[in-house]
A and B are shown apart, each in its own frame.
Chain A
């Protein structure tokens, strides 16, 4: 993209105009995501910058919405709280004999809406990821074998949860699951999210298996290792980066999914996105911005993890730039 020394004036102008256009597009991509962080420290219950915030007045900023995440929905949020109480609560809660003492933290853990949503999100996401990753990895290994029959047809069936509009998927599941007694249960949501996550696992694991040297498995077998041993000792460590990133994709799919939750989950199964959805629809408050900021930080961490995994995978398989 370097400008050659013989470039005409017109070319120079076009060059910089092009850079400016691209800059604006990047601004379009990234500004909305970054703007929510300062807005979430608003002292006023608004979605916009106040005069005070623009003049960097200390009074105009506060962490009240972050506090609100913790206390919203609690029976009594005015109870005393301190690190010592928190440590005691944590310690007593973790130890098998004692139950946690009745305090601010028990109340928060049991009753705060966002905390419950977080627990639900992680619970559903965890099991959906386990199912999706286990089944998806096995299937990807089968699909990448040369002797696999009806490969194309089966592949397009297995990828279809990614393509079919979510509303149709969710409506179908709602209709069917309510007949077999699975609607408004954790199991229903977990099954739905597992089905939605499997295509990602198949895509990432298949991509890892493309560079997989099959003679390694044969070498292991020739030295007397059985199929199970060659799988766990040779194949699995090599495709692990693909499996983990597929699992991360499956988890983030579940963690971010709201349509199936809207159709299948009852009020006590609300996940974080579901809570945000009703927050946006009903009582719009900067608490949502605070949650959003935390989610952005989580996605930055995930992005970094994925990048590290990709590099590790390339190194293991001997691909170098």
Chain B
């Protein structure tokens, strides 16, 4: 065959419109056509994700947002005391209470007593100034018989109504949209005149609790790092068969129920437990001075470290596996000692794994609830336990929401950092 026989037919000129843009076979511009097709594909991909997105929004995001909203918005007073609420909000908080305020207050007290909502209102105001609960219930009982002038009648019923402080507390409670709960969550007070001041020294508990939570999370993270790093190193440098066997020892705790592991630690650490028995047997301590290892901070730290250790080992291990052994060999051949080769070459290469594991452990431990609740005793309680307490026992949901909002903000910052350092796509399990 000759070259000539390969001659091809001339390529027909592509159809174009007046501006010279390419047209598809059905006459529409190719650009539009391509855009439409891309849009269909995007919509199709989005359509696959949409059901889950809606589900997560409805069952997870919206509930949390609504809870957080109660942290800045509490309308208990405004809803149940509709006459006095606007007057109280308009009052400047410093001048003497007016007769109009007192009249509205008496009318509201009568109505609230009939509607049986006075208890709710009383405990709402009581949170602003303790002791006002009985003031409200007592005045509520007498309000029906009160006559003008109402201010004097209220003061006659209970002399606390003569105090400016009482009215200020009512004003604070009457303001629905308020930073008071967030202020309370950081141990500050939002006063009726709209200023912030710190709580008395003895009543400051939350900031201390936040610091304790962060301190515990940091301690657990460091403990996990010190225990996890050598283990990960050993597994990464053993032959695959042996390291797979050792991996089972890491994964089994990972797969075992949290409650089981907490139970196990109670059996290990309690004063009649395995560890104390061994200490007595070894003569480290005597039978009647056994160590108290559980139902305190020690117990929380030990159990949390054990529970979170696999989350540290796994990312470090997978990073170490990927480090070529030739790097350390090269360093040694250039005269580095073992220690220098480790410090200057190997360790820097494992930092991504340490970052991933450390952040994950920190994020998980800062929100820990079950283990501190079960083995923490008095001083091992963390911020999560307080949130649960205010949700379930004291029923101060707004304060719980404010504490939760701060905790969530901390976690989301760490989550963002984790995304930057590791990328959530690279999160691996097991």
Task: Tell whether A300 is near chain B: CB-to-CB under 8 Å.
Answer: yes
Contact with A along B321-362 (1 / 0, CB 8 A): 000000000000000001000000000000000000000000
Nearest-neighbour CB distance to chain B for A68, whole angstroms, equals: 15
- Interface contact B419-A156, CB-CB below 8 Å: yes
Q: Which residues of the partner chain B approach A161 to less than 8 Å between Cβ atoms?
A: 56, 60
Q: Which residues of the partner chain B approach A48 to less than 8 Å between Cβ atoms?
A: 267, 270, 272-274, 277
Contact with A along B352-375 (1 / 0, CB 8 A): 000000000001001111100010
- Interface contact A276-B62, CB-CB below 8 Å: no
Nearest-neighbour CB distance to chain A for B350, whole angstroms, equals: 16
Task: Tell whether B38 is near chain A: CB-to-CB under 8 Å.
Answer: yes
Nearest-neighbour CB distance to chain A for B83, whole angstroms, equals: 26
- Interface contact A300-B411, CB-CB below 8 Å: no
Interface of B is mostly: helix
Show the binding face of B for A, using Cβ within 8 Å: 38, 41-42, 45-49, 51-53, 55-56, 59-68, 70, 227, 230-231, 234, 237-238, 240, 246, 248-253, 255-268, 270, 272-274, 277, 306, 309-310, 338, 363, 366-370, 374, 384, 387-388, 391-392, 397, 400-401, 404, 407-408, 411-412, 415, 418-419, 424-425, 427-430
Smallest Cβ-Cβ distance to B375: which chain A residue: A280
Contact with B along A258-278 (1 / 0, CB 8 A): 110011000000000100110
Q: Given that A143-B49, A194-B55, A280-B374 are contacting pairs, would A306 and B430 also be in contact in the complex, using a CB cutoff of 8 Å?
A: yes
Nearest-neighbour CB distance to chain A for B395, whole angstroms, equals: 11
Contacting residue for A33 out of B47, B261, B412, CB 8 A: B261
- Interface contact B274-A35, CB-CB below 8 Å: yes
Smallest Cβ-Cβ distance to B387: which chain A residue: A167
Q: Which residues of the partner chain B approach A49 to less than 8 Å between Cβ atoms?
A: 274, 277
Task: Tell whether A113 is near chain B: CB-to-CB under 8 Å.
Answer: no
- Interface contact A32-B250, CB-CB below 8 Å: no
Question: In the assembly, what is the distance between CA of A159 and CA of B423, in Å?
Answer: 12
Task: Tell whether A91 is near chain B: CB-to-CB under 8 Å.
Answer: no
Nearest-neighbour CB distance to chain B for A298, whole angstroms, equals: 9
Task: Tell whether A233 is near chain B: CB-to-CB under 8 Å.
Answer: no
Nearest-neighbour CB distance to chain B for A159, whole angstroms, equals: 5
Nearest-neighbour CB distance to chain B for A192, whole angstroms, equals: 7
Task: Tell whether A317 is near chain B: CB-to-CB under 8 Å.
Answer: no
Q: Which of A28-75 contact B (CB under 8 A)?
A: 28-33, 35-36, 39, 46-49
Q: Given that A167-B367, A173-B59, A295-B256 are contacting pairs, would A26 and B264 also be in contact in the complex, using a CB cutoff of 8 Å?
A: no
Task: Tell whether A207 is near chain B: CB-to-CB under 8 Å.
Answer: yes
- Interface contact A29-B250, CB-CB below 8 Å: yes
Q: Which residues of the partner chain B approach A35 to less than 8 Å between Cβ atoms?
A: 264, 267-268, 274
- Interface contact A165-B366, CB-CB below 8 Å: yes
- Interface contact B277-A32, CB-CB below 8 Å: no
- Interface contact A263-B45, CB-CB below 8 Å: no
Nearest-neighbour CB distance to chain B for A297, whole angstroms, equals: 10
Contacting residue for A135 out of B41, B52, B227, B400, CB 8 A: B52
- Interface contact B255-A299, CB-CB below 8 Å: yes
- Interface contact B415-A163, CB-CB below 8 Å: yes
- Interface contact B230-A22, CB-CB below 8 Å: yes
Task: Tell whether A244 is near chain B: CB-to-CB under 8 Å.
Answer: no
Task: Tell whether A303 is near chain B: CB-to-CB under 8 Å.
Answer: yes
Nearest-neighbour CB distance to chain A for B320, whole angstroms, equals: 12
* Cross-chain pairs A/B with CB under 8 angstroms, 17 sampled: A19-B234, A25-B230, A33-B264, A47-B272, A48-B273, A138-B49, A138-B52, A143-B45, A160-B61, A165-B407, A166-B384, A167-B367, A171-B387, A173-B60, A259-B370, A295-B257, A299-B255
Q: Given that A48-B274, A142-B48, A300-B252 are contacting pairs, would A25 and B415 also be in contact in the complex, using a CB cutoff of 8 Å?
A: no
Q: Which residues of the partner chain A approach B408 to less than 8 Å between Cβ atoms?
A: 164-165, 168
Question: In the assembly, what is the distance between CA of A258 and CA of B373, in Å?
Answer: 12
Smallest Cβ-Cβ distance to B61: which chain A residue: A157
- Interface contact B429-A249, CB-CB below 8 Å: yes
Contacting residue for B56 out of A198, A204, A292, CB 8 A: A198
Question: In the assembly, what is the distance between CA of A166 and CA of B246, in Å?
Answer: 31
Contact with B along A103-142 (1 / 0, CB 8 A): 0000000000000000000000000000100011011011
Task: Tell whether A147 is near chain B: CB-to-CB under 8 Å.
Answer: yes
